[in-house]
Every structure is written in structure tokens, then in C-alpha cells.
Structure 1
Amino acid sequence: MLPRFFIFTFLVFALFSCKEDNQEKKRITIPKDEKPKLNIHYENLSQGLFNVKTPKDVKIFLEKHPRFSAEYLEVPNAAADPKMVDFMFNLYSNPQLKSFYEESEKYINQPPYLKDQLTDLFENIKFYYPTYNAPEVNTIVTGFKFNKDISVSDSLVVISTDYFLGPKAQFRPVTYEYFLSRYDKPFIAPMIAMALSNKFNDVDPKDETMLAHMIYHGKTLYFMERVLPETPDSLLIMYPGKTVEDIEKNLDVIWGHFIDKKLFYETKPRIIEKYIGESPKISEIGEKCPGRIGRWLGWQIVRKYMKDHPDVTLQDLMADKNARKIFEESKYKPKKPTK
């Protein structure tokens, strides 16, 4: 069965190439006069937590933020948990964490970079889905103590901003190198858009083929490009710009591998994970072929399908569970690169 919900831990990339701008597909943008205007609730929780003087202050804070407790801390009544209260009091009394917080504020919240990015994202989603209600947004610095970079639900998004301070940060999370390179602020909005897309992305639970996974992720990425139309492909797929260029140059080889190995209708989870899941490379195709290449191919199939079916709306696409139909009607076949 395809995944229905994502909590993102260890996702994003730091440096991307401006060269990709020349390759960017023509995006569908929303006219400014048609975009709904939203005033999202955006709260920096760290400001309150660094002002606590006693454990009782922490308890009062947690009582005022029950959704944060339930969804990010995963402790439904954290204010009544003495261990959690004491832990958070000690954590936010640490002067080193306060220094980390100040670094985070300068990089992400001054000027209000993140709030502007997310407001634009939520407004674009509401344009396509008029009944959509934007979630509240909380930011917090945690010192990586809760092992969670972003938590996303229909009602609340919590961002641990200290994960996203880029390669020059004084502290960085411990993870795989190819994951670590993604932790920077340009990737926060794409990560949230990816998580929010799950609400709209219908699937056929009986279809467990590689193709179903490819189209699922292709629909996700297409949703992301529609609600973040100014964001380069490299940020949406979370590849370096040079990697995208290399894929374009070798697309016929990649496509040929999928054809030769009869991968589209493969159902073995281990093989599907090899081409869809996270990994630094797929050596079966080539030493420079990045992980998740099946998602990228699914994106190109969906793009071709939508280009050839201008009457199909974004809502229609996301509600379509028939991966095989999308694949066959796209008639997608990569062009051989020009020498």
C-alpha cells in the first residue's frame, strides 16, 4: 500500500545551481488578482520558552499550546507530565541553546522570510482548493532534542528551525551526508508542500506496482510545482542542480534501464524501494544516478500527461487513482539528448 501520511525527519539540500533556471519547465502561475489573501497564524514558540523563569512557567506555556504538545511533542497533556516540564525548563534555561536560537532568528526569521514563503504556499493551495483551511505555523529551536525537523497536520505545522541553518551553522543534526546537505531554509516550504499534498493525493490501495509508486510521487511533485511555481526543480525534488542536468543528459539510459528490467509493473517491495526510496545512488543504473529516480521519472510522466490533457485540472489529477491510465495516456518517452 502506498504511504498516506509523512512526518519529515531528515530531509533537504543546501546549495543549488542557478544553471537549472535555463532548463526549468514553463510553470503555470496564478494571476495575482485571483489569488486569495490569507493572514496565517504564525507564532515563534522559542520567544516564550526562553522567557520562562520556573517550571511552573513551562507548565503554563504548555497549557496554552495543547496542539503543539500533542502533535510535535507527542504528549497529549504535556503540562501534566512533570518529567516533560522539567526537561523543557532545563533545555530552555541553557545559554548555549539561546545562542543557537539567535543564530536561527537571524538566518530564518529576520526578515520574515519563512512566514512570507508559507503564506504564499497556503494562498496557492487555497486557490486550487477553495475550501482549504491553512494550518497554524509554529517555529521552535529544540537543539535537535526531539529528533523531529518538521511536523505537519491539517491544523498545525511545527518547524524546528535549527535544523535548517545550512552548512555554516555552528551545530548540525547527525544524519547521512546526502541528507545533511539538504538542510537549509530554501527547502522548508517544499517539504511542507510535499506533506500537505498527501491530503489531496488519492491512490488505489490495491495497486502495489512500481508504476503506482512512481505516479503517486509524480503527482506529489506536480502538486508542489503548481503551489510553488517559482521554486526550481532542484529544490522540489531535492537534488543538486548539477544532478538534474546529469539526469537530463542520461535520461534515455535511465528510461532504457526501466524498460529492460521490466520495472514498471514490478511488485517486490525490496526492488521498488531501491528505485523509489532514499539512497545516495542507484548503482544498477550508474554511479552518478541519484536515489529516488523513480519519483523523478513519475514526475516527468505526470507533466507530460497534464501537458497533453489541458482540460484536466490539478484537482482532477490528484483525485485520479488510475496510475496505469495516466502512464499510458501520457505517451511519455524521453527524447534522446542532442549531442
Structure 2
Amino acid sequence: MNQLKLIYCCLLLLFYFSSCKQKEQDCKLDAEILKTNLNVEIIRLENDFFGAKSEEDFLFLLEKYPEFTERYLWSNQYNSKSEMANELLALHRDTTLVELYEEVMVHYPDIEFLEIELTNAFKYIKYHFPEFKVPKVYTFVSGFASDLYLDEDMIVIGLDYYLPFEHRFQPPDLPQYISNRYQRPYIVPMIVMAISSTFNKTTVAQSTLLAEMIYYGKAYHFTKSILPCTSDEYIIGYTPEEIAASFDNEEFIWSYFVENDLFFETNPFIIRKYTGEAPATDEISLDAPGRIGRWLGWNIVDDFRSNNNLDLRGLMDNWDSDMIFRQSGYKPRP
């Protein structure tokens, strides 16, 4: 029996990899959407800041990039810009930080790929949400102080977080199962996922596990809609094997939630077991990936939009998780 199960799982994974590869090869972005007059230029602040050699150089940079200075570097925490400039000067002379910057430049000598991917993503967002204001985009080397910063006017990408997972420099504050997702293909999906919160309507009146599942389901659905040719693994952060296994066990996962009456659970500690970051969802199985509630919520949301003929705005504007659940028509795939 175990041998037959192993053979079945191998065949399933082979089918999954083949079908995903075929879908990615066949996928084409919408030509009409790409005609939108919009281009993203990314300013590489790490070059400016590591190229600065004096207090005057840093003072010039602090004045040149006021939003970055105030919101990202927290200039209001200093008594004066001069004090801040001298601290930055000392920091950027640190040999380890300089070496980290040099390694970033080895792995990201140019970021044209990032400009292209973000330009296309922002065109898609602008198509669905015309009021979307394209933010300024910067890269930076923060010494693992910040991976991504986003507000409505500015995005800062900490490229040091996105070195290869086998690199000797790794974020010290992240467990391995999370840091494995800090790779080049995840950068744009992470940004789009973060932007989704601007359009993802919710209500404090619904604070159940189901509401959390639907919230993340809408966020993943938004991200996939904006990045239709991006593999699911880079959107949800599961390996291909974990995605294939989750679909293989979808009926069991669904039954577990139903039989344990979990959907309307309000205890935040229990909710976190099924939607929070973890290497596995131990309550279901040691082999079930973490955040399995988010994955299930994504499937429910996909079915809700499909079965109700909604556009993306109509989905994101809907704050009623109970209604989305009831009208999704969701059933585990056989």
C-alpha cells in the first residue's frame, strides 16, 4: 500500500509540474492592459548612500529624498539632520555592511527585470482600479533592518533580504521556512500582495477564522489576477510539492475544518494555528504546510468570483466573508 501511495504521489507531482510548466509557457499578459501609458523607474538608493563619503554628502541625500528620509529612516527620531548624517556616515563605513552591499551588487548588478515586472503589475492594478496612484520605487541595503516598506507614495525594497537562500548573508530574524521565500521571484508578488490590502475591504464585526481565511483568499486572488503568469508557489509561498499535496488532500483538509466546527471560531490563538506563519499545520498533519487556512480561503474565493461573475473590484469591495463563503459553491476537487 505504501509503495502504491508513493507511486501515486510521484505521478501526481509529475502531472502538476508538467501542467504548471505548460500553463506558464502558454500564459500571455493582456495586450490591451499593457498599452497603458505607465512606466516604473526604480532609484537605487544603495548606490547613493554607499557612495557618500562625508557628512555633507549624506545631508545632500537626506534633502534630495525627503519622503525616504522621513518615513523610512525616521528622521524625527534625531535631534538634527546633522546628527543623522553622522550616524549614517559611521554606519556606511562598517566593513560588514559594505561587504553586504557589494554582495547585493554582485547578485543585482541591474534591476531591469524588476522595473519591467512592476510596470506590468501596476498597469494591471491601474486597469482594475483607475484611482491607483503609482508610487515611487527605491531599492536599498538596510543591513537586514527592513525587507519591504510600502505606503501610498513610496515603496522601498531591501535587496539584502533577497540574496540567494544559500548565501552566507541571511536575515538573522527569520526562521528558515520563511527566509526560503525571500528570493528574487518573490519580490513582485510580495509587493502586489501588500498593495492588495488597500483594496481588500473588511469589517471588524467579523473576527472569525473564516473571515481571516477569506481576507487572505482575496489577497491571493488579487495577486494572481494582477500577476496572471506568475506561478502559485511565488504567490502563496508553498513549494510545488506542498501545493500538489494540498490539492491531493483537499477533501481531507475541508473535512477537518467542517468536523471540528472551525469556520466560526473566534479565539485568536486557534485562528493563528490555521492562518499564521508556521512550518506546518500540526493540528491537521505534520505534513500539512503552514497557513493552510489561507490556502483553503483562496480556493473558496476563487470559486466565489467564478460562480458569481464578478470583476476584481466587485470581489475586493465585498467585506462579507460569511456571504462569500455561502455563495462560493465551494467543494473540494475530486
Q: Deviations over 1:202-237 (max 9, x none)?
A: 012211111111111100000000111111111100
Displacement of 1:99? 3.6
Percent of pairs identical after alignment? 34
Distance 2:128 2:41 in 1: 21
Q: Deviations over 1:69-107 (max 9, x none)?
A: 222223347692444322211222345433432332342
Partner of 2:164: 166
Please give the secondary structure, in 1, of the residue aligned with 2:283.
coil
Distance 1:304 1:26 in 2: 19
Distance 1:266 1:161 in 2: 39
Whichever structure has more helix as a proportion of its residues is: 2
Partner of 2:88: 88
Q: What one-letter code is carried by the residue in structure 1 that aligns with 2:247?
A: E
Equivalent pair of 1:55/1:89 in contact (CA under 8 Å): yes
Distance 2:261 2:189 in 1: 32
Partner of 1:69: 69
Partner of 1:188: 187
1:316 aligns with 2:314: yes
Partner of 1:330: 328
Q: Structure 1 residues 269 and 29, CA, compared in 2 at 3 Å: closer, same or farther?
A: farther
Q: Structure 1 residues 152 and 111, CA, compared in 2 at 3 Å: closer, same or farther?
A: closer
Partner of 2:128: 128
Distance 1:220 1:139 in 2: 24
Q: Deviations over 1:5-61 (max 9, x none)?
A: xxxxxxxxxxxx995462589799752133313122420001111221212211221
Larger Rg: 2
Q: Deviations over 1:172-201 (max 9, x none)?
A: 111211112111111111111111001100
Distance 1:293 1:153 in 2: 28
Q: What one-letter code is carried by the residue in structure 2 that aligns with 1:51?
A: G
Give the TM-score taking structure 2 as reference length.
Answer: 0.88
Q: What one-letter code is carried by the residue in structure 1 that aligns with 2:154?
A: L
Please give the secondary structure, in 2, of the residue aligned with 1:148.
coil
Equivalent pair of 2:33/2:123 in contact (CA under 8 Å): no
Distance 1:24 1:296 in 2: 21
Structure 2: gaps (5+ residues): 1-13
Give the TM-score taking structure 1 as reference length.
Answer: 0.87
Equivalent pair of 2:29/2:229 in contact (CA under 8 Å): no
Distance 2:66 2:245 in 1: 47
Please give the secondary structure, in 1, of the residue aligned with 2:75.
coil
Equivalences for 1:297-308 in 2 at 5 Å?
Answer: 297-308=296-307
Distance 1:23 1:298 in 2: 21
